[in-house]
Amino acid sequence: MERGASTGLAMKQSLPPPLARFLTATELDTRLLGMIGALLLIWIGFHLASGGLFLTPRNLWNLSVQSAPVAIMATGMVLVIVTRNIDLSVGSMLGFLGMIMGVVQTDLLPQLLGYDCPAIWMLALAAGLVLGAALGALQGFIIAYLGIPSFIATLGGLLVWRGGAWWVTHGQTVAPLDATFRLMGGGPEGAIGATWSWVVGALACAAVVFLLMHGRARRRTFAFTPRPLAAEIFIGGVACALILVAVAVANAYPWPIGSVRRYAQAQGMALPDGGLFIAHGVAIPVLIAIGVGVVVTFLATRTRFGRYVYAIGGNPEAAELAGIDTRAVILKVFMLMGILAAISGAISIARLNAATNSEGTLDELLVIAATVIGGTSLAGGTGSVAGAMLGAVLMQSLQSGMVLLGVDTPLQSIVVGIVLVIAVGLDALYRRRRE
């Protein structure tokens, strides 16, 4: 559904025969493989240029946490762009919703329930999700039912929500946040530790094996030719290896000495002479991002809603003639985008332990760039959730690497802009080759 079979065939025919046979057997997406290759080159390049500082457990762990908000919003932007729309307001919406969640948990709810109420973080998050759905529905209604182009409607949203984030507190920063709410932002306590990380890794590997076996069984049920068994074993082995390596890297990053000291004091322990190694493990925002990616992928590929989204992007007129309520589908897509902006806003303010009116500034550009780099066509009709999330990691890798190298912020913006233009140019070239 997300890629044209004829497109993949045409590209594979231009490759060397052994590589073409390998891609045909494994059915791997050539564009996704190319992006993975580019990401590895970027990582190696920054690692060499930074004197060995980039490919370290600490930097990779922080990179994963920093990528989470953009990756979450990129999953929704895939569906928005697939329907031939755009959402320029996601960064401002993130800031506005983050400010609302900050005010709710630091000012409103404590006055009603008391500062010690354990449900404050849940109610604050629920308020952000409900409001995010409402704001997304408002923009979706303006676009789908009033006929205002999405570029104009969401450009207006960019200005309105950014001003609203300032207006809520008149520019004041809201801090500190609820202790439980802060866990969504990562940090020593916002991770699941070594043991649970290995448990999650093992479950993820089991899920990979199950999905491969389930897909093979379904192909036989519907009389489709299954992939060669060797290809299935290769895909499963590589996927499980990458999962376990990621867990090992997360577990190799220890708590800072200050957190270890406080933990030892709370437990009545004496620190040994060599110190105490406590692994962070996988960060909670990373788990949230992965969960969102799985859910949105399921919506896009395994539900009627997802089929309608791609049908609208492929040919809006034909979709309407087929009886699809295109306006309702577009409304739902923007509602989903609003919910995802709320989740990203919660992670962002939790990570900073503060809500500011500048939160999410220019994130809309990173989200759109990540989505386009991930293979979503601005012409609509095609897009990959996994590719968009990988694009988010690529964009954050560029920023993280430039920070390590001491590159000035204006030059960082120049690089991001160049990368975005190149991504759109490659998309245009890809579509011309397909035609």
pLDDT in tens, 59-103: 999 999 999 999 999 999 999 999 999 999 999 999 999 999 999
Which uninterrupted H or E stretch holds 347? helix 326-352
Q: Which of 149-153, 188-192, 320-324 has the lowest mean pLDDT?
A: 188-192
The Cα-based distances of 45 to 38, 117, 398 in angstroms read 10, 49, 11
- Quick one: pLDDT at residue 6? 44
pLDDT greater than 80 at residue 330? yes
Domain boundaries of the chain, sorted by first residue? 52-188+308-435, 192-282
In this prediction, residues 167-188 reach a mean pLDDT of: 91
Q: What rounded mean pLDDT belongs to the chain? A: 89
Tokens of 350: 């939790």
What one-letter code names the amino acid at 383?
G
- Quick one: pLDDT at residue 434? 62
Backbone φ and ψ of 226, nearest 5°: -75, 160
Confidence band, pLDDT 50/70/90 cuts, at residue 3: very low
The full DSSP string for 111-139 is HHH-TT-TTHHHHHHHHHHHHHHHHHHHH
| Residues 376-397 as b or e (16 or more Cβ within 10 Å = b) | bbbebbbbbbbbbbbbbbbbbb
Q: Using one digit for the tens of pLDDT, what is the confidence trace for 208-217?
A: 999 999 988 8
The proportion of the chain whose per-residue pLDDT surpasses 90, expressed as a percent, equals 65
What one-letter code names the amino acid at 33?
L
Look-up: residue for tokens 């404050």? 120
pLDDT greater than 70 at residue 323? yes
The half-sphere exposure of 175 on its side-chain side, counting CA atoms within 13 A, is 12
Helices (H), 222-325: 229-251, 257-267, 284-302, 304-314, 316-321
The Cα-based distances of 401 to 61, 245, 359, 363, 392 in angstroms read 14, 21, 21, 18, 14
Find out whether 174 and 354 touch, Cβ atoms under 8 Å.
yes
Q: Using one digit for the tens of pLDDT, what is the confidence trace for 245-268?
A: 999 999 999 988 888 888 888 878
Give the residue, 425 or 248, on which the prediction is more confident.
Answer: 248
CA–CA gap between residue 422 and residue 369 (Å, rounded): 10
Look-up: residue for tokens 């990540």? 370
Query: Across the strands, what pairs with 193?
Result: 281
Q: Using one digit for the tens of pLDDT, what is the confidence trace for 120-170?
A: 999 999 999 999 999 999 999 999 999 999 999 999 999 999 999 999 998
- Quick one: pLDDT at residue 14? 55
| Other beta carbons less than 10 A from residue 109's beta carbon | 20
| Other beta carbons less than 10 A from residue 342's beta carbon | 29
- Quick one: pLDDT at residue 123? 96
Which uninterrupted H or E stretch holds 157? helix 150-169
Burial label, 407 (beta-carbon count in 10 A; 0-12, 13-18, 19+): middle
Greatest mean pLDDT range, 20-29, 267-276, 305-314: 305-314
Which uninterrupted H or E stretch holds 328? helix 326-352
| Residues 326-337 as b or e (16 or more Cβ within 10 Å = b) | bbebbbbbbbbb
In this prediction, residues 2-31 reach a mean pLDDT of: 62
CA–CA gap between residue 119 and residue 374 (Å, rounded): 38
pLDDT greater than 80 at residue 21? no
Query: Across the strands, what pairs with 330?
Result: none
pLDDT greater than 90 at residue 105? yes
Q: Which of 313, 337, 345 is nearest to 326 (CA)?
A: 313
Tokens of 433: 């080759």
- Quick one: pLDDT at residue 435? 58
- Quick one: pLDDT at residue 431? 65
Confidence band, pLDDT 50/70/90 cuts, at residue 1: very low
The half-sphere exposure of 88 on its side-chain side, counting CA atoms within 13 A, is 13
Tokens of 35: 């992006």
State whether the Cα torsion 219-224-228-232 is positive or negative: negative
pTM (predicted TM-score): 0.91
The Cα-based distances of 132 to 60, 337, 340, 345, 377 in angstroms read 30, 8, 8, 10, 26
